[in-house]
A and B are shown apart, each in its own frame.
Chain A
Amino acid sequence: MLNILKKTLTGTTMAACLSIAVAGTPATARADTNLTMYYPVAVGGPLTKIVDGMVAGFMKENPSINVKAIYAGNYNDARIKALAALKSGKPAQLSVMFSIDLYELIEQDAIIPFDDVVKTAEDKAWLKSFYPTLMQNGVTRGKTWGIPFQRSTIVMYYNKDAFRAAGLDPEKAPASWDELVSAGKKLTKSDGSQWGMMIPSTGYPYWMFGALSMQNDQVLMNGAGNKTNFSAPATVEALQFWKDLGSKYKVMPSGTIEWGTLRKNFLEGKTAIMWHSTGNLTVVKKKAKFDFGVAMLPANKRRGTPTGGGNFYIFKKTTPEERTASMKLIKYMTNPARSAAWSMKTGYMGVSQSAYDNAKLKEYVKGFPYAAVARDQLKYATAELSTFQTGRVRKALDDAIQSALTGTKTPEAAMKEAQATADRLLKAYR
């Protein structure tokens, strides 16, 4: 009995404390507009702190806007959570999501174009201030739906010590497919202790393939997101080259190469060259025990890489005030100084020319020129594979790439099949 009484008493006291705490909040915050933002990073990671810092800075400058950042895991999780919140009637107002989710979000009628929000001439100029290549994944049907923020490209990391040991010039990274093969042959050791190069083919094979096909002067899809070019001769040729690196030239392990362990392979010297996201730059810089270099991807008919990463979106279920406030936040987060700081801390790219004109980033690039490789490569870049029904279309391409690399199908047959699947899926959108 005494125990029950005790419990009840503690319960009441705690409830009382809580209600005081709850009642206390509105008085201190005075927020007029509340924004909820989904953000695709794991909770507690280093990125969380950086984003939290930016959000805090924004709220200090705009005391009437209250921003709650929800860290939602990876891109897939963020999209699932944002769409689930939308269906439940308690949506967020804005979110950073995968740039290639664009068509899915449009089809779900989840987002609004920024053209509906920008009013002043100054805002319209702001919309034009980003690198056009980074805008490709955010623009369709003549409207802008996504603003670049957490963006990356593929670059080539190479082990300069291994280059020296193989008698290659460490300051001259292979600039063409032929040079890549001949350097790869010199770098590959016959006992299997070191491979010439590795291009990852699990996780995001379509992304790596976007680079190879672009280098062969062929984009993978059209701007309306309803047609793919998987069976075009240049595309098949690019896949053949990827396969040949392993099976014909023997400068790369045959079969698929794991995305998750590739960085370790490079850091342990098991491969002299790796193609990987710029997002790895800061980690490689910290952990490499050898002299390493970063270069643009090589060219065949031209240089090329897809862009990657996340864009800002504004959701449709928002009031005009919330939209204006969201715009303010996005402008704050992507402004040159912040974008420059973001790039230095993470390895992601600055999103506009003026970010790289920022004095601090200029200084950083002077000391560590590899931080600018992604920017310099941008003029050769193209959009990442993104279509309607994007998950299924991407899967068809991924499967085709893997079946060709593992030798179960010829590149031509595999790509024909992928194109047929994509045609069937996209017919309804033409």
Chain B
Amino acid sequence: MHPSRNLMRHVHGWLLLTPAAILLVAFTHYPTIKTIIDSLFSKGTVIRPSRFVGLANYESMYADPIFWKVLYNNLWFALGTIPTSIILAISMALLVNRAMPGRSFVRMAYFTPTILPMIAVANIWLFFYSPDIGLIDQISSWFGISGHNWLGDPKTVLPAIIIMTVWKEAGFFMIFYLAALQHVPPELREAARLEGASRWYFFRRVLFPLLMPTTLFVLINAVLNSFKLVDHLFVLTKGGPDNASNLLLYYIFESAFSYFDTNYAATLTVVLLALLAIMALVQFFLLDRRIHYR
């Protein structure tokens, strides 16, 4: 090929990439780098300007009991929401994948929580959970169980929030499983039936492995969401009581906008970024190898 023509092709290619690259650099890469740099400086005010402090922010983070508390909470939040919502999503998808009366209605009902904004969901659940007047306590009072302060008790607040998040997320993941199930050839089921495989065996050895690519996708999303979703905390608990429901991202928000300590918030953000990067890499490299793609 003519060299100048080849050059033109390269220029052309780069020109096509430029708009996306500019957006990516401006809104993803630059902020990431700036965050890391900010985390090495002290909080600045007009009276005491910001200065380079090295790893001092990381040291105070290490000594900050609230940081460890929110990290611990986030771990439980992830463990509580991810497996449950995936199992629930698969079950719901299997259920509504069959021929049954009112199928589209049930599908829609399962999907409804997903289309509601998180803030609206939290407002609804705030009244579900509120002691005595809430839906949950009113129902339990029929059975003679006295009211419980679900969001006001450090022991129950995190589980309460986990249940709400599962309710919100499972329907979303169901849609992906439903789409994947529609692509499973019906011959497989027929063959399995002929061979005398039980339903559970068929699911375990045929269906679930075929759904693995979807599961990987859903898993990555679920993990990201367990660190990204904090909207409900603004409405439900503001992280309380005594940080019992505080999560990492909410603590970052508090540090940046309630305490105006953007540098400490940057430090926390670096931790969040590192955590997410590690988890995404693990998922891609470890799980991806075991997945059978058709």
Binding site for B on A (CB under 8 A): 76, 80, 83, 104, 107-109, 192-193, 195, 201-203, 253-258, 260-261, 264-265, 268, 270, 389, 391-392, 395, 398-400, 402-403, 405-406, 408
Contacts and interface: CB of A to CB of B under 8 A. Distances in A.
Interface string B110-132: 00000000000000001100111
9 contacts: A109-B46, A192-B147, A201-B152, A255-B241, A261-B127, A264-B130, A399-B240, A402-B240, A406-B242
B235 interface: yes
Contacts of B146: 192
Given A258-B152, A406-B241, 14 more contacts: A109-B46, A253-B131, A253-B149, A253-B152, A255-B149, A255-B153, A255-B241, A260-B126, A265-B130, A270-B132, A270-B133, A398-B240, A406-B242, A406-B244
Residue of A76, A195, A201, A406 with highest tally of chain B CB at under 10 A: A406
Nearest to A417: B65
Interface residues of B, number: 32
Nearest to B146: A192
B154 interface: yes
Contacts of A201: 152, 241
Contacts of B259: 389, 391-392, 395
Contacts of B45: 107-109
B52 interface: no
Q: Identify whether the interface residues of B are mostly helix, strand, loop, or mixed.
A: loop
A77 B235 CA distance: 15
Interface of B: 45-47, 66, 126-127, 130-133, 141, 146-147, 149, 151-154, 235, 237-238, 240-244, 254, 257-261
Residue of B47, B131, B235, B244 with highest tally of chain A CB at under 10 A: B131
Residue of A76, A107, A255 with highest tally of chain B CB at under 10 A: A255
Given A108-B46, A192-B132, A255-B241, A395 B152 contact: no
B157 to A, nearest CB: 9
B153 A261 contact: no
A258 B152 CA distance: 7
**Shortest 8 CB-CB distances between A and B: which pairs?**
A255-B152, A109-B46, A402-B241, A256-B152, A403-B242, A391-B258, A255-B149, A391-B259
A406 B158 CA distance: 14
Contact of B258 (A76, A256, A405): A76
A403 B235 CA distance: 20
A406 B133 contact: no
Contact of B47 (A107, A195, A255, A258): A107
A403 B241 contact: yes
Contacts of B149: 253-257
A97 to B, nearest CB: 13
Given A258-B152, A261-B133, A402 B127 contact: no
A107 B130 CA distance: 39
B243 A399 contact: yes
A399 B242 contact: yes
Contacts of B127: 261, 264
B240 A265 contact: no
Contact of B241 (A108, A256, A264): A256
A268 B237 CA distance: 22
Nearest to A255: B152
A192 B149 CA distance: 12
Contacts of B131: 253
Nearest to B149: A255
B152 A257 contact: yes
B185 to A, nearest CB: 45
A254 B146 CA distance: 13
A380 B163 CA distance: 45
B257 A256 contact: no
A128 to B, nearest CB: 29
